[in-house]
């Protein structure tokens, strides 16, 4: 029952796909699908701002883990835990033999593809603290607040964070940081924001948002 529940949730989540973003239309050949400012923002995204280094692939995420140098400010996000260490915290839990060798891991008895190598020898690695998975940027304009603790209220806040190269050394867990100051102008910041807004696609089909639960 637990396995069926998990697979049913996953199957449903795979339906929650937003398509036809202005950027997708632009890539498909419609030069007018995004604004002149968004086009300049795209150039910044792949060049001066360097966002493409981690935010790549069709989902705009490399699906990898990085240290960006985020200081957890509990005045901005009161319920955040400044002691969270990121990916490393999962290792002790996941690599417990009862879990790692159990039926519910990616290569276990209930897996639809038991030959997968997605575990990546996770349990044999030394995981540094402060690593967090790259966030995909699809629908980013409508998914505030941002960062793992929600302390960035707007896209402007996010861009300012990356422009200054993250928070100072010694104020966050892990390191060294993988980002550096960008020195973007005010106009460049707005252009980058316009590009990010162009990654929002059509609404999810209404039939997938209906509550079909019987009381």
Mention every residue, 6+ apart, whose C-beta is less than 8 A from residue 113: none
pLDDT at 105: 73
Q: Which of 72, 179, 66 is nearest to 131 (CA)?
A: 66
CA–CA separation, 157 and 146 (whole Å): 9
Query: CATH number of the domain at 37-85+131-201, out of 1.10.10.10, 3.30.465.10, 1.10.760.10, 3.20.20.70?
Result: 1.10.760.10
pLDDT at 211: 81
Q: Where in the chain is the domain with CATH 1.10.760.10?
A: 37-85+131-201
pLDDT at 118: 65
pLDDT at 119: 63
CA–CA separation, 198 and 9 (whole Å): 29
CA–CA separation, 133 and 61 (whole Å): 9
Q: What stretches in the chain show pLDDT beneath 50? A: none
CB 152 within 8 A of CB 145: yes
pLDDT at 76: 94
CA–CA separation, 24 and 58 (whole Å): 10
Q: Identify the three-state secondary structure at position 65.
A: strand
Query: pLDDT for 169-197, tens place per residue?
Result: 999 999 999 999 999 999 999 999 999 99
DSSP 116-177: --TTTTGGGS---TTBEEPPP-TTGGGS-SBSTT--B-SHHHHHHHHHTTSSPTTSSSS---
CA–CA separation, 23 and 90 (whole Å): 35
The pTM for the full model equals 0.86
Q: Kindly report the average pLDDT of the chain as a whole number.
A: 90
């Amino acid at each position: 029952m637990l396995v069926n529940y998990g697979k049913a949730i996953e199957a449903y989540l795979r339906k929650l796909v937003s398509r036809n973003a202005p950027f997708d239309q632009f890539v498909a050949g419609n030069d007018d699908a995004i604004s002149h400012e968004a086009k300049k923002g795209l150039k910044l995204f792949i060049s001066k701002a360097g966002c493409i280094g981690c935010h790549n692939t069709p989902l705009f995420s490399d699906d990898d883990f990085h240290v960006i140098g985020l200081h957890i400010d509990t005045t901005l996000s009161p319920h955040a835990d400044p002691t969270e260490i990121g990916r490393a915290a999962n290792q002790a839990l996941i690599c417990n033999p009862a879990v790692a060798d159990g039926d519910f891991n990616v290569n276990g008895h209930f897996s639809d593809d038991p030959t997968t190598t997605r575990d990546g020898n996770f349990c044999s690695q030394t995981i540094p603290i402060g690593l967090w998975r790259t966030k995909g940027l699809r629908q980013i304009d409508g998914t505030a607040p941002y960062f793992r603790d929600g302390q960035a209220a707007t896209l402007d806040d996010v861009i300012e964070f990356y422009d200054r190269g993250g928070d100072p050394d010694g104020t966050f867990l892990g390191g060294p940081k993988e980002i550096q100051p960008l020195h973007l102008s005010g106009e460049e910041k707005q252009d980058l924001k316009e590009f990010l807004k162009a990654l929002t696609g059509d609404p999810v089909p209404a039939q997938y948002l209906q509550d079909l639960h019987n009381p």
